[in-house]
Amino acid sequence: MKRIAFLFLFVTLALVQSGCSMLQSSGREPAFDAIVISASEGSLMVAVSGKGETLSPFEPASVSYNKTEKSVFTRGTLIRITYDGTVRESYPVQLTAKKITVIEEVKDNWPPTSQLKKDYSPEEAKEDGCYVESLSGKENKDIAARFQGNSSQGICAYLRKVAYTVEGDPVITDFIYDGTKFYVINDATRDAFAGSGNKIMQKEYLYINTYEKGGTKIIYLADEKDISQEEYEEKVMSAKGEALLDTFTVYSE
């Protein structure tokens, strides 16, 4: 009987401790990591970084915060946002931050890409919500199309593209649209055959355009709008050596 009573007491204590642990865990204030797209006084437009219970990876969110905050939020900075759990339904979603913590400031490259491991796999990139191009095919094409759709309508947007070389090395490109301009950061530091020069390239563009002919569709950035098919073919597709028109391909079909 004593042994049974002891076992009952042990199980009861274990359940109580487990219940307390669950209460503490569920009682924590919700928070998520994000990448700053644009900043103004008391307001941020961010892209969600990583997977969460409520918000999808790289989806835009409008965040209001206390104007007495001393931090200056630069585009591309990785931050952690603590909020009360309320997400106002709109697009982009809206929420109010209780606290914003800077995880890593922008330096020579967007901090989010510098945190990824060298052998970042296509499976991991797909799971993380990236648009993926590899020898096996293209994954998360709907995410790339959503970036085009949002930015074409003037909605702030963020896209991470991970393209794999023949050798399997990942080349990571982040696209940011802040409502007025496109920012591109191409990170080839994981490409063993990218040469010895600067492997991080940053560019800016004004417009997102579409080239479509036959079964080919190319979504690209440029500083000119409404570029004709003939001009694109002549200055980009058929150009020998350096292209005569500065463009950057987002994705193709």
* Partners of residue 126 on adjacent β-strands: none
Q: What is the DSSP letter of 144?
A: H
* Partners of residue 164 on adjacent β-strands: 170
What whole-number distance in Å separates Cα of residue 34 and Cα of residue 59? 10
Adjacency order of strands within the sheet including 247-252: 207-213, 216-222, 247-252
Single-letter amino acid, residue 108? D
DSSP string, 25-73: HHTSPPEEEEEEEEEETTEEEEEEES--SSS-TT-EEEEE--TT-----
CA–centroid distance for 130 within its chain: 7
Residues of the chain with CATH 2.40.50.140: 31-104
What whole-number distance in Å separates Cα of residue 61 and Cα of residue 156? 9
Residues making up the chain, counted from first to last: 253
User: What is the pLDDT tens value at each position of the chain, 253 positions in all?
Assistant: 444 443 333 333 333 333 322 222 345 788 999 989 888 888 999 988 876 666 777 888 999 998 765 667 888 888 999 998 888 888 888 999 999 998 887 765 555 677 788 899 999 999 988 999 999 999 999 999 999 999 999 998 999 999 999 999 999 999 999 999 999 989 998 999 988 778 888 899 999 999 999 999 999 999 999 899 999 998 888 866 567 889 999 999 8
Are 203 and 227 in contact, with CB atoms under 8 Å apart?
no
**Does residue 92 have a cis bond before it (omega within 30 degrees)?**
yes
* Partners of residue 210 on adjacent β-strands: 219
Phi-psi region of 226 (alpha: psi -120 to 50; beta: other; left: phi over 0): left
What CATH number does domain 31-104 carry, 3.40.50.410, 2.40.50.140, 3.40.50.150, 3.40.50.300? 2.40.50.140
> Across the chain, how many H-helices and E-strands are there?
5, 14
